Structure 1
Amino acid sequence: MYFCPSCANMLLIAQGESGHNQFVCQTCPYIHWLTFVLPLCIKPITSRTTYKRKQVDDVLGGSAAWENVDATEARCPKCDHNRAYFMQLQIRSADEPMSIFFKCCNCAEQWREG
C-alpha cells in the first residue's frame, strides 16, 4: 500500500490516458506515474488475496441445541412441510418479545419469527 505525500490518503492504481499505470489519490490531484524496465508494460497491475475464513460457533448452540425441543405445526418455507421443531430465545432487550426459531422436521431448514 502506498499513501499520498500531500494528504496521506491511500493511493489507488489506475490506468492513465496514455495506457500507462499510475498511482492516483482520490481526494487531491496527486498522480505518480509507474515506470518499468520494459517499455511495453501497459497492462493493469492487480493482485488478489483470498483469506481463509475462521470457524465461528453457531449462535443458537449448534445441533446440540435442537436435541430436546418440542415440535409444532408450522409451514416450512422451503419444502412446505407442516411440522417443525421450535425454541424461543430472548435475543433483544427484555421489553421486546422473545424470538421463535424453527427447524423443519423434513428438510432441516431453519427460520425465525419475531
Structure 2
Amino acid sequence: MEFCPTCGNLLLVEHAAAGRSLRFFCPTCPYVFPIDRKISNKLQVKQKEVDDVLGGEEAWKNVDRTEAICPKCTFRQAYFMQIQIRSADEPMSTFYKCCNHNCQFQWREG
C-alpha cells in the first residue's frame, strides 16, 4: 500500500496513457507517481497481547470446588466460577479449572 504524500489518501493503480506502464494516482488530488520498478516494503506486524477474559490466575484464587470430571485427566474435582458472558436473558456460563496441580486444564460449560 502506498499513500499520497499530499493528502494522505490511499493511492490507486492505473494504466498510464502509453498503455503498458502503470502509475499510482490519488483519487482526491492531482498527485500521480509513475511506477518504473517493482516496489516492495516489508513491515513486521507486532501482535497484540491477549488479555485473559476470565481475569487470569488472580480470578481463580477465591473460587469454590465441585465434583466435575476433567475431560483431559479425568480428575474428579474442579474449581468453578459462573460468569454472565451473553445477554441478561441467557443463562450464565460455568468455567472449570481442574484441581489436579499437574493438569490445571480449563474448560467451559454452557
Query: TM-score scaled to structure 1, two decimals?
Result: 0.58
Identity %: 61
Residues 113 and 49 of structure 1, relative CA distance in 2, 3 Å threshold: same
Selected match of 2:45 from 32, 45, 51 = 51
For these two proteins, the number of residue pairs brought into alignment is 82
Which runs of 5 or more structure 2 residues have no equivalent in the other structure? 3-11, 16-21, 23-35
Matched, 1:109 2:105: yes
Matched, 1:60 2:54: yes
The residue number in structure 1 matching 2:26 is none
Aligned residue type for 1:76:
C
SS at match of 2:59: helix
Give CA-to-partner distance per residue, 1:7-50, whole Å, 9 cap, x none. xxxxxxxxxxxxxxxx9xxxxxxxxxx868xxxxxxxxx88654
Matched, 1:72 2:66: yes
Which runs of 5 or more structure 1 residues have no equivalent in the other structure? 7-22, 24-33, 37-45
SS at match of 2:66: strand
RMSD of the alignment, in Å?
2.7
